[in-house]
Structure 1
Amino acid sequence: MSYLVLARKYRPKNFSEMVGQSHVVQALGNALGTGRLHHAYLFTGTRGVGKTTVSRILAKSLNCTGIDGKGGITAEPCGVCDACRDIDGGRFVDYTELDAASNRGVDEIAQLLEQAVYKPVVGRFKVFMIDEVHMLTNTAFNAMLKTLEEPPDYLKFVLATTDPQKVPATVLSRCLQFNLRPMAPETVLEHLVQVLALENVSAEPQALRLLSRAARGSMRDALSLTDQAIAFGSGRLDEASVRVMLGSVDRSYVFRLLDALARGDGRTVVETSEVLRLNGLSAASTLEEMATVLQRMAVLQAVPGIGAGDNDTDPEIVETARLARTMPADETQLLYSLCLHGRGELGLAPDEYAGLTMVLLRLLAFKPPGAVVPAAAGVQPVAVRPASGSAAEPVKKSLSEPVEAPVAGRLHAVQSGPGTRLEDTHQVLQAHYVPALPLTVAYESNMASAQTANVPSAMNSEAFAETAKAPMRPSADIGTEGGSLDDAWERIVNLMVAAESIAALTRELALQSQLCGQSESLWTLRVERESLNQAAAREKLQVALQNALAEPDLRLAVELGAVTNTPARRNSAALVERQRVAELLIQNDPFVQDMIREWGARIVPGSIKSVSS
């Protein structure tokens, strides 16, 4: 006897055997039970989710005569009467399946509709099933509209398609539409366990998880892949053979990469990428798996403990939960976005592994387009330009501070000067907001009271230390000057960020912390999120402060608690203020006001943007 593939052998024979489509089963079951039957049904969904299967079960429900031959329309076909057996065997004369992909013309549809005038031969209803109906031509659709709208009482139409957008609205309006959903990997996994138990095939749980994910929501694909895996593994399913067959990347590599990215460990990232190359694993699959894990991490970070997060039987879930606790939520979102975009760039790289390495390095070394850097108290705001050297170089080797004119004075000149034109406004905006280098950003915490001051064109280590620590000396006066401690910490952090002496998690720890205590040898920071308080980031920030302030004995302590004033919050407030000033500058420009009065011009809300890079 010839072998029957699993996808055909375990095709559902009634609604109770349908998997993952309870919403469709419930609607059809209620309609059959109450006798409220429509004359045309449209089933939509991706491949392998049960469109043709539902059509055949519906046809059996309409024509079943029961075991005793006296049954009527039912939601539970018996499966043993002549009608049920003939429909399952594909030989029921009153059930016609038409493949619209190969019979898409008006002639084929006309031949089908010619049969509609004849009553059923042996059954209770005639059922016309048209698969991939979106492939029909417009003429063919038009030819069937009248019959589809008012068919004889004994005729039922069942249409199926994977692309309902291509079906004309005139056809959609004549049908009841049911969308069969892609099945969740957990649903597919549960069904595979049942099938393999009936087949007496041993399988490792992780191998079935790989097959469930590879099916991408299609039960037919899952069973076909299982057939292939059984043959590949000589009658059994183990993780190693299934992974080789699918060509999928071992999740252990993905977790190793994400852990290294969280720790800023570039060596491990590059070495793991090289291992992937040597093993011939797909670069696109690597990024896809990384995006999948990052998505689950983002869900756990937003809603801790949701879903299967507490299931300790799956090591991948446990590792995903650990990484979700380790990596900040904003960094997770950034890595997810870069992985998605990186997949599209692989085809542009010299080879896909070079593209993969560059994407991973981008994940490791990504930095914001600029840093907001305030000046010392009473000093004109400066634009800090990082040097072209390595980010790991000390601050004293990478700071340059050109003089900037006061913003408030410029705004006054633009707004009140005689004969001012819109071109002058653009020049002022560009002079202040578009510096020469991409990472140059000017910032002013109080634009209404900015004062002009001379700032050295370059700072050595001693000058940096003196400028950074000036408001904090003597330390006994801290806390009596109305926020001087926060001002000093903000200035130090922004200078280090601009100089690229801190990066990744270390940068986030500094920006999102508040300096709540300071002595000559011990500085105490406070953060709100435990994920920021990592030992590696804490040590790197301590070293950066020692180098920047020339104090090798400085020690850093980090505590958890509520924060009220951090450099990140101050920088955000500065950006909002800069946007407000830019909008005010444009709105008060005489030329703009003339255009509004004389020509009825208007400023589109949201169209004014302050340029920061």
Structure 2
Amino acid sequence: MNHVVLARKYRPRSFDQMVGQEHVVQALGNALTSGRLHHAYLFTGTRGIGKTTVSRILAKSLNCTGPDGQGGVTARPCGQCLACTEIDADRYIDYIELDAASNRSIDEIRDLIERAAYKPSVGRYKVFMIDEAHQLTKDAFNALLKTLEEPPEYLKFVLATTDPEKMLPTVLSRCLQFNLRPMPPEVVHAHLQAVLEAEHVPADAGSLRLLSRAARGSMRDALSLTDQAIAYGAGKLDEAGVRSMLGSVDRRHAARLVQALAERDGAAVLATVNELRSLGLSAAGTLEEMAGLLQQMAVEQAVPGALDENDPDVAEAQRLASLMPADETQLLYSIVLHGRGELSLVSDDYAALTMVLLRLLAFPPAGPAPVPAPRAAPLQVTPREARLSTAPRPAVAPPPKALPAAARPPAPAATPAPRSAPDVARAVAPRDDEPPPWVDDALPEVDADAAPMPAFDEPPPSSPKPAAPALVTTALGDRWAALLQPVLASGAIGALVRELAWQAELVGVEAQADGAQLWRLSVERDSLRTPALRDKLQAALVAAGAAGLRLELEPGVAADSMARRDAAEREAAQRAAEQLIQGDPAVRALMSQFRTARIVPGSIKPVSEPRTPS
């Protein structure tokens, strides 16, 4: 007996056998049962989701006579009468399928219209099915319009297309349209499992999961890939063999890339890309697997606990969701999706993959803006007349010796061109035949008792920096810090849970009837006040020794949190470092000798940084 491929062998022969298109099955079933039949149907959707199959089942329902030959129009064709068996065998004389991809001209349509003039030969209805109808020419469409609008009572039209946007509006208005949807991977997975059990082919869950995802919503593609996998695996399916056949990228590689990007570890990203190159894995498949992982991470971040716990990939997505902020997850997802189109623009897919992944590292992480690099102040040169006037001018030091960066005088900039303003103190360039104006000048005498020049430029009075409110520590704050510090130091909690603990303020401790203690935490950010983060923090504190502890989150601005205490420590350390530098005798001597020298703002950093939530 000749082998029949799975896609043909397991093609549904009744509405009850169809999967994934319940909305179409219900509508057609009700119409057939009630006798409210339309004269033209249009089925739209991507390839392999059942458009032709629905057309054949509809033709059988219209012409079924039942096992005894006395049946009528029904939503449940018997599958035994002449009409049912002949339509299944593709030789029923009153069911005509026309492939518009190869029969698209007006001549084929005219022949079809001529055949419509004759009544059915053996059946109750004639059914004309035009597949890929969007490929008909405009003249062919126009020739079909009249018959399509007012066909004989014994004629039914069925049109199928993968691109309804190319159909003429005049044709769409004459048809009852049904949109067949791509099938979810879960539906494809269940159907493949049933087919393989019927075929007595052993298969593990990993191989079925890969095949159901690779089908991209097409059941026909899923069955064709299953046929190929059976041949590849010599009669059995396993995850490693199916992954090798499909060229799919292991989720572990995608997880390593996402973790490296979350930690902003460029070296790890490059190492993983090089490993993918050595294994010969697809760059496009890598981005596709990353997109699926990031989608699960985004769902977990937005709605914790919403992912299917039966999916073995969920645990990895939940772990990575705590390492990356939600906004970076969305950004990386967008980068990955758009990056797939860039792979074909260069000859080296892996070089393009590297550039796509490193794009996230080009965006600075969330936090305070970096201190800009200092700029040298421009040197103003005045003519000899202005130097004799009483207008003050900055003293210019000779070329300095090796000086510390904090006390180094600014480098001279290009001399600006003279302006037409009548100000005697305006900056002009010296003539070529005139020596520089500072040649015959002596350095001013420095009074040892004079007050030193200010070490920092004063901010403009129009935009004063608002002073932060002073930190007032509380006993509850001390209690919260003492409980939290060992947990933070152990690294037992993830990034978002750590941020919740860092930003929260303990505002109350209440004893409960069952002996437990309810700790009320004030948290300002809505994104941190989630039950999932609260439960994770509570579990970590209980595991650290706080038995009987329950946490309750409430909105409010934290006045005594670990974050506020850390900021206060940083500010105090910064002030102490600045005062130490400004009071240093060597620095004061340099500042007195070079009157135009300034300490670069932001260049002073404490030697030991205060603690951070790591």
CA separation of 1:369 and 1:106: change in aligned 2, threshold 3 A: farther
Indicate conservation of the 8 Å contact 2:97/2:130, yes or no: yes
| 1:114 counterpart residue number | 114
- Amino acid paired to 2:84: C
Write the distance in 2 (CA, Å) between the matches of 1:101 and 1:233.
35
Normalising by structure 2, report the TM-score.
Answer: 0.65
Matched, 1:478 2:475: no
Write the distance in 2 (CA, Å) between the matches of 1:53 and 1:208.
24
Indicate conservation of the 8 Å contact 1:38/1:176, yes or no: yes
Indicate conservation of the 8 Å contact 1:104/1:136, yes or no: yes
SS of the residue aligned with 1:315? coil
| 2:357 counterpart residue number | 360
Matched, 1:98 2:98: yes
Q: CA deviation at 1:457?
A: 7.5
Write the distance in 1 (CA, Å) between the matches of 2:52 and 2:242.
29
- Amino acid paired to 1:344: G
| 1:299 counterpart residue number | 299
Instruction: Give the stretch that moved more between structures: 351-360 or 118-127.
Output: 351-360
Aligned length: 439
Alignment RMSD (CA, Å): 4.0
1:213-247 CA-to-partner distances (Å, cap 9, x unmatched) read 11111000000000000000111111111111111
Matched, 1:12 2:9: no
| 2:217 counterpart residue number | 217
Q: CA deviation at 1:344?
A: 2.4
SS of the residue aligned with 1:268? helix
Matched, 1:384 2:376: no
CA separation of 1:397 and 1:221: change in aligned 2, threshold 3 A: farther
| 1:342 counterpart residue number | 339
Matched, 1:326 2:323: yes
1:553-594 CA-to-partner distances (Å, cap 9, x unmatched) read 5542659xxxxxxxxxxxxxxxxxxxxxxxxxxxxxxxxxxx
Write the distance in 2 (CA, Å) between the matches of 1:287 and 1:118.
56
CA separation of 1:515 and 1:223: change in aligned 2, threshold 3 A: closer
Normalising by structure 1, report the TM-score.
Answer: 0.65
| 2:196 counterpart residue number | 196
| 2:56 counterpart residue number | 56
Write the distance in 1 (CA, Å) between the matches of 2:25 and 2:466.
74
Matched, 1:317 2:314: yes
| 2:611 counterpart residue number | 556
CA separation of 1:294 and 1:544: change in aligned 2, threshold 3 A: farther
SS of the residue aligned with 2:322? helix
Listed as ranges, the matches of 1:461-476 within 5 Å are none
Which sections of structure 1, spanning at least 5 residues, go unmatched? 374-382, 388-395, 403-452, 459-468, 481-504, 518-524, 560-613
| 2:166 counterpart residue number | 166
Write the distance in 2 (CA, Å) between the matches of 1:327 and 1:54.
46
Write the distance in 2 (CA, Å) between the matches of 1:118 and 1:39.
16
| 2:185 counterpart residue number | 185
Indicate conservation of the 8 Å contact 1:385/1:401, yes or no: no
| 1:494 counterpart residue number | none
Indicate conservation of the 8 Å contact 2:323/2:495, yes or no: no
SS of the residue aligned with 1:274? helix
| 1:261 counterpart residue number | 261
1:373-416 CA-to-partner distances (Å, cap 9, x unmatched) read 8xxxxxxxxx83389xxxxxxxx9899999xxxxxxxxxxxxxx
Indicate conservation of the 8 Å contact 1:96/1:127, yes or no: yes
Indicate conservation of the 8 Å contact 1:527/1:558, yes or no: no
SS of the residue aligned with 1:97? strand
Write the distance in 2 (CA, Å) between the matches of 1:398 and 1:326.
38
Write the distance in 2 (CA, Å) between the matches of 1:170 and 1:249.
46
CA separation of 1:479 and 1:241: change in aligned 2, threshold 3 A: closer
Instruction: Give the stretch that moved more between structures: 158-167 or 359-368.
Output: 359-368
Q: Looking at secondary structure, tell me which structure has more helix per residue.
A: 1
Write the distance in 2 (CA, Å) between the matches of 1:386 and 1:2.
81
CA separation of 1:75 and 1:400: change in aligned 2, threshold 3 A: farther
Write the distance in 1 (CA, Å) between the matches of 2:407 and 2:126.
83
Q: CA deviation at 1:194?
A: 0.3
Write the distance in 2 (CA, Å) between the matches of 1:225 and 1:109.
35
SS of the residue aligned with 2:157? strand
| 2:205 counterpart residue number | 205
1:49-91 CA-to-partner distances (Å, cap 9, x unmatched) read 0000000000000000001110000000000111100000011
Write the distance in 2 (CA, Å) between the matches of 1:11 and 1:191.
12
Write the distance in 1 (CA, Å) between the matches of 2:66 and 2:467.
92
Write the distance in 2 (CA, Å) between the matches of 1:215 and 1:89.
27
Q: CA deviation at 1:281?
A: 0.8
| 2:152 counterpart residue number | 152
Q: CA deviation at 1:367?
A: 2.0
* Larger of the two Rg values belongs to structure: 2
Indicate conservation of the 8 Å contact 1:127/1:157, yes or no: yes
- Amino acid paired to 2:61: S
1:72-128 CA-to-partner distances (Å, cap 9, x unmatched) read 000000001111000000111000000011110111000011011111110000000
Write the distance in 2 (CA, Å) between the matches of 1:306 and 1:134.
40
Matched-pair identity in % = 61
- Amino acid paired to 1:320: A
Matched, 1:74 2:90: no
Instruction: Give the stretch that moved more between structures: 346-355 or 89-98.
Output: 346-355
CA separation of 1:55 and 1:554: change in aligned 2, threshold 3 A: same
CA separation of 1:400 and 1:114: change in aligned 2, threshold 3 A: farther
Indicate conservation of the 8 Å contact 2:47/2:162, yes or no: yes
Indicate conservation of the 8 Å contact 1:386/1:400, yes or no: no
Write the distance in 1 (CA, Å) between the matches of 2:500 and 2:31.
61
Indicate conservation of the 8 Å contact 1:345/1:355, yes or no: yes
Q: CA deviation at 1:326?
A: 2.9
Indicate conservation of the 8 Å contact 1:385/1:400, yes or no: no
Listed as ranges, the matches of 1:228-307 within 5 Å are 228-307=228-307
- Amino acid paired to 1:333: Q
CA separation of 1:103 and 1:398: change in aligned 2, threshold 3 A: farther
- Amino acid paired to 2:67: I
Indicate conservation of the 8 Å contact 1:384/1:399, yes or no: no
Write the distance in 2 (CA, Å) between the matches of 1:204 and 1:69.
46
Q: CA deviation at 1:478?
A: 3.0
- Amino acid paired to 1:165: E
SS of the residue aligned with 1:181? coil
Listed as ranges, the matches of 1:505-584 within 5 Å are 528=525, 529=528, 550-556=605-611, 558=613
Write the distance in 2 (CA, Å) between the matches of 1:93 and 1:58.
15
- Amino acid paired to 2:123: G
1:399-457 CA-to-partner distances (Å, cap 9, x unmatched) read 9999xxxxxxxxxxxxxxxxxxxxxxxxxxxxxxxxxxxxxxxxxxxxxxxxxx99848
CA separation of 1:169 and 1:324: change in aligned 2, threshold 3 A: same
Write the distance in 2 (CA, Å) between the matches of 1:398 and 1:75.
88
Write the distance in 1 (CA, Å) between the matches of 2:364 and 2:68.
76
Q: CA deviation at 1:552?
A: 4.7
Indicate conservation of the 8 Å contact 2:291/2:336, yes or no: yes
Indicate conservation of the 8 Å contact 2:343/2:349, yes or no: yes
Q: CA deviation at 1:516?
A: 8.0
Write the distance in 1 (CA, Å) between the matches of 2:348 and 2:36.
60
Which sections of structure 2, spanning at least 5 residues, go unmatched? 376-403, 411-452, 459-464, 473-493, 507-521, 541-562, 575-602
Write the distance in 1 (CA, Å) between the matches of 2:191 and 2:37.
31
